[in-house]
Homo-oligomer: A and B are copies of this chain.
């Protein structure tokens, strides 16, 4: 095949500057073209279903609808959709969530131009692609335990400076129970302290300020 149609791409990011950068990068290439843009998760879903692009570049942190949720929603109605996650952070949690949602590649925004373009081509050809740095991150977090919904609820209140007694009344349980949840979390996160538990959870993206 000597002449094929260009790869049709959808760009989704809430920062106008970043969108402009991606569009500029892509449109310079003759074998790629941007067919649509979106600035939040809802738009992303709508635009995807409307244009059916070959590849979608999406940021995870977006208003209206979270990037990972949007990806899941897309792949529910278009199982073959090829999505590349492009984000600023390398939180374990974000990576896992987006890959579970069905993303084909995970790139950081500080990636070089060529790496990004290569990723687009690779994903378009049906391959999946995770950079080595991310892959090791992922491998590390395999053994990492997961917190239950209740535990996260407790931890969020801890981060807010609430005492065990306050948390207990807020959640309609006993102070002893709160301590128990906290204790298991200290074990899971390998933290020596409620404070360190919070900072570790923040590092891993389990918690947001």
Contacts and interface: CB of A to CB of B under 8 A. Distances in A.
Contacts of A85: none
A111 interface: yes
A168 interface: no
List the number of copies, as a whole number: 2
A192 interface: yes
B16 A193 contact: no
Which label, helix, strand, loop or mixed, suits the secondary structure of the A interface?
helix
A161 B191 contact: yes
Contacts of A86: 17
Contacts of A22: 17, 20-21
Nearest to A27: B24
A172 to B, nearest CB: 21
Contacts of A161: 191-193, 195-197, 199
A119 B117 CA distance: 31
B16 A113 contact: yes
A6 B108 CA distance: 34
